[in-house]
Amino acid sequence: MDTAIAPPARPRTVHHPLPSGPQAAREARRSAARALDLHPGRCPQETACDILLIASELVTNAVRHAMPPYALTISLDRGRAGICVSDGSVSLPRRGDGHGPLATRGRGLQIVRALGADVFVSRSPRGKQVIAVISWPDG
């Protein structure tokens, strides 16, 4: 009997430059939704909603605390997604004022982590990248 081994599925990656103003978060949600629509079945619906929120939070942080150019890259694989937001600032994220009960800012990365994502930051020649990786059981 012959055994065929299927090649591993390759992640589906979408890169989208974003506008430099407050409309960037809305555009990031739209781009993320399109990426998810292009690859239905890659993740559960609840996780897809989390991915949209993560993209929005990361882009909002970039617009508030960094400088253009902004871009969103989403990589979807079975059981895992990477959401990367790049910006033109080399300043790394700092812990905000989001710890007190009356805090109105500084909770973006807390929200991303509360959704179960691991967060990584790396400098690049043109700024930095903030990357959130979220995973789910691939059934």
CA-closest candidate to residue 57, choices 14, 100, 96: 96
Binned at pLDDT 50, 70 and 90, residue 5 comes out as low
Strands 118-124 and 80-87: unpaired
Residues 52 and 33 sit within 8 Å (Cβ to Cβ): yes
CA-closest candidate to residue 30, choices 12, 55, 47: 55
pLDDT digit string (tens) for 11-27?
688 899 999 988 999 99
pLDDT digit string (tens) for 51-94?
999 999 999 999 999 999 999 999 998 899 999 999 999 998 87
